[in-house]
Amino acid sequence: MHIAITGAAGFLGQRLVQQLLARGELRQQPITRLTMLDQVEAPLPEAGDVSLAALALDITAPGALDSVLDQRPDVIYHLAAVVSSAAEADLELGMRVNFDATRALLEGCRAKELTQTRLIMASSVAAYGGALPAVLDDMTALHPQNSYGAQKAMCELLINDYSRRGIIDGLVLRLPTIVIRPGRPNAAASSFASSILREPLNGEEAICPVPVELPMFVMSPGKVVEALIHGAEVPSKSLAPFRAFMLPGITVTVAEMLEALRETAGEKALSLVRHEPDSRIEAIVAGWPARFETAKAKQLGFTGDDSFKQIIDAFVTEQQ
Ligand X SMILES: NC(=O)c1ccc[n+]([C@@H]2O[C@H](COP(=O)([O-])OP(=O)(O)OC[C@H]3O[C@@H](n4cnc5c(N)ncnc54)[C@H](O)[C@@H]3O)[C@@H](O)[C@H]2O)c1
Residues that bind ligand X (CB under 6 A): 7, 9-13, 38-40, 58-60, 79-83, 97, 122, 124, 175, 178
Residue 139 CB, shortest distance to a second copy, in Å, is 5
Which option in ligand X, a second copy, none does residue 164 bind, with CB closer than 5 to 8 A by kind?
a second copy
Applying CB under 8 A, among 47, 53, 93, 132 the residue interacting with a second copy is 132
Least distance between ligand X and beta carbon 174 (Å): 7
CB of 207 to ligand X, least distance (A): 20
Strand order in the sheet with 177-178: 177-178, 215-219, 250-253
- 291 lines the binding site for a second copy (CB under 8 A): no
131 lies in the binding site for a second copy (CB under 8 A): yes
* Rounded Cα–Cα distance for residues 103 and 78 (Å): 11
Sign of CA dihedral 161, 228, 122, 220: positive
Site string for a second copy, 73-112 (x = CB under 8 A): ------------------x---------------------
Of 86, 96, 34, 92, residue with least CA distance to 62: 96
Residue 161 interacts with a second copy (CB under 8 A): yes or no: yes
Contact by Cβ (8 Å): 112, 71: no
CB of 241 to a second copy, least distance (A): 4
Query: Are 192 and 209 within 8 A, CB to CB?
Result: yes
**Nearest distance from residue 184's CB to a second copy, in Å?**
30
Active site residues: 148
Cα–Cα distance measured from residue 252 to residue 220, given in angstroms and rounded to the nearest whole number = 13
Residue 80 touches which member of a second copy, ligand X, none, C-beta under 5-8 Å by kind: ligand X
Give residues with Cβ within 8 angstroms of 271, minimum separation 6.
none
Residue whose CB is less far from ligand X, 7 or 129: 7
CA distance 220 to 178: 6
Least separation in angstroms between CB 291 and ligand X: 18
Residue 174 contacts residue 246 (beta carbons within 8 Å): yes
Member of 15, 33, 143, 291 binding a second copy (CB under 8 A): 143
Q: Please list, in sequence order, all residues whose beta carbon lies within 8 angstroms of the beta carbon of residue 138, skipping any fewer than 6 positions away.
A: 242, 245, 246, 293, 294, 295, 296
CA distance 279 to 3: 44
Residue 72, Ramachandran bin (φ over 0: left; ψ between -120 and 50: alpha; else beta)? left
If contact means CB under 5 to 8 A according to the sort of partner, which of ligand X, a second copy, none does residue 242 touch? Answer: a second copy
Nearer to a second copy, 78 or 152 (CB): 152
The CA-to-CA distance between both ends of the chain, in Å, stands at: 32
Pick from ligand X, a second copy, none: which does 81 bind, CB < 5 to 8 A by kind? ligand X
Residue whose C-beta lies closest to ligand X: 10
Residue 82 binds which one of ligand X, a second copy, none, with CB within 5 to 8 A depending on kind?
A: ligand X
Tell me whether the omega of the peptide bond preceding residue 180 falls within 30 degrees of 0, making it cis.
yes
Q: Out of a second copy, ligand X, none, which partner does residue 168 contact, by CB within 5 to 8 A per kind?
A: none
E strand or H helix at 56, and its extent? strand 51-56
* CB-nearer residue toward ligand X: 8 or 214: 8
Which residues of this chain interact with a second copy, rule CB under 8 A? 91, 129-133, 138-145, 147, 150, 153-154, 157-158, 160-161, 164-165, 241-242
